Amino acid sequence: MRYRTIGTDPAHRREVSVLALGAMLFGSRTDEETSFAVLDRYVEAGGNFIDTSDNYAFWTDGGQGGHSEELLGRWRRSRGIGDEIVIATKLGARPLAPGTSYVDNPEGLSAKVIREAAERSRERLGVEKLDLLYAHIEDRTVPIRETVEGFAELVAEGTVGLLGVSNHAVWRVERARALAAAAGLPGYEVLQYQHSLLRPRADVTDAMFPDGSLGHTGAELLTYLRAEPELTLVAYSPLLAGAYTRQDKPLPQDYDHPGTPARLAALRAVAEETGATLNQVVLAWQMGGDLPIIPLAGASSVAQLEENLAAIDLELTQDQRARLDAAH
């Protein structure tokens, strides 16, 4: 396993594995026995960066979520897991009532919600401190300053370590970070957005979610990362839910544009040259690039996880990487 540092403050920064494990469906669609087996193998391989959210997976039963955090809490207790494993969670997108969703009834990012939701996550996970806490989706009904100060209070109290943000417009991320810096408060240091080798249509990157918030990694976000080297991008859905390799998983319509065939052809050529799978090449391309990107991949079986883990040792040549980057 290889590792990367997230965060800049010596009191909170962590060394995390270059491949993060997504636990979104653990405890819901992925049963407990399988979830535990995947988690055990990930840790055995040296993995220590697990991602969840307080709303996972509300859509599986029409509830409010919490399944994933609760399962991770049971796994931690049964295995005697301590703070050697970094668990990241998110708040802001939990439905306020069963049968609703983050689109029409989200918990939001008020100071009150931040405190209460973080406390519930700590209880479900069975931890005294949340290693990394994200603002999951935008809340334009609350002043950014209130959200910034709400997160900062938890860091000051020692119940949260690092702060992150996902699915926000870049200008709102920058405004929040500027407000935090001006006030001498901790700000967002980890960004989580959807990112893969294939690129969605340009118009899709501007409004992925029904509420208009940003989900995909576009050119603006990549430029922002280059300008702010202390930031880290955690790239979710890097394998497009199996669409690279599974015949029963067509590519999302967002990727139906003239640039996709060329990038797929380059990907297949590199896979053939290396003897690796398409998924492994995509993960290696992300992990070995010049930007600080940590792919976040889920797994519903140990076999899927093994395929992903093998990508860590796959070294692409400069020529292979250049061809993947240039294809469009």
Q: Is residue 201 part of a domain?
A: yes
> Quick one: average pLDDT of 81-101?
96
Query: Can you tell me the distance from the alpha carbon of 128 to that of 280, in angstroms, rounded to the nearest whole number?
Result: 36
Average pLDDT value for the chain:
94
**pLDDT above 80 (res 233):** yes
Confidence of residue 254 (pLDDT cuts 50, 70, 90): confident
Q: Is residue 301 part of a domain?
A: yes
Q: Is residue 240 part of a domain?
A: yes
Q: How many domains does the chain have?
A: 1
Q: Is residue 71 part of a domain?
A: yes
- Cβ distance 90 to 134 under 8 Å? yes
Strand partners, 163: 133, 188
Q: Is residue 52 part of a domain?
A: yes
Confidence of residue 253 (pLDDT cuts 50, 70, 90): confident
Instruction: Give pLDDT, residue 209.
Output: 54
Q: What are phi and psi of 18, to 5 degrees?
A: -75, -10
Query: Can you tell me the distance from the alpha carbon of 50 to that of 47, in angstroms, rounded to the nearest whole number?
Result: 8
Residue 232 domain boundaries: 3-258+276-318
Q: Is residue 265 part of a domain?
A: no
> Quick one: average pLDDT of 96-101?
94
**pLDDT above 50 (res 56):** yes
Instruction: Give pLDDT, residue 214.
Output: 59
Instruction: Give pLDDT, residue 202.
Output: 72
122-152 confidence digits (pLDDT tens): 999 999 999 999 999 999 999 999 999 999 9
| CATH number of the structural domain spanning residue 136 | 3.20.20.100
Q: Is residue 327 part of a domain?
A: no
Q: Is residue 36 part of a domain?
A: yes
Q: For residues 195-205, b (16+ Cβ closer than 10 Å) or e, as one string?
A: bbbbbbeeebb
Instruction: Give pLDDT, residue 250.
Output: 87
Instruction: Give pLDDT, residue 211.
Output: 42
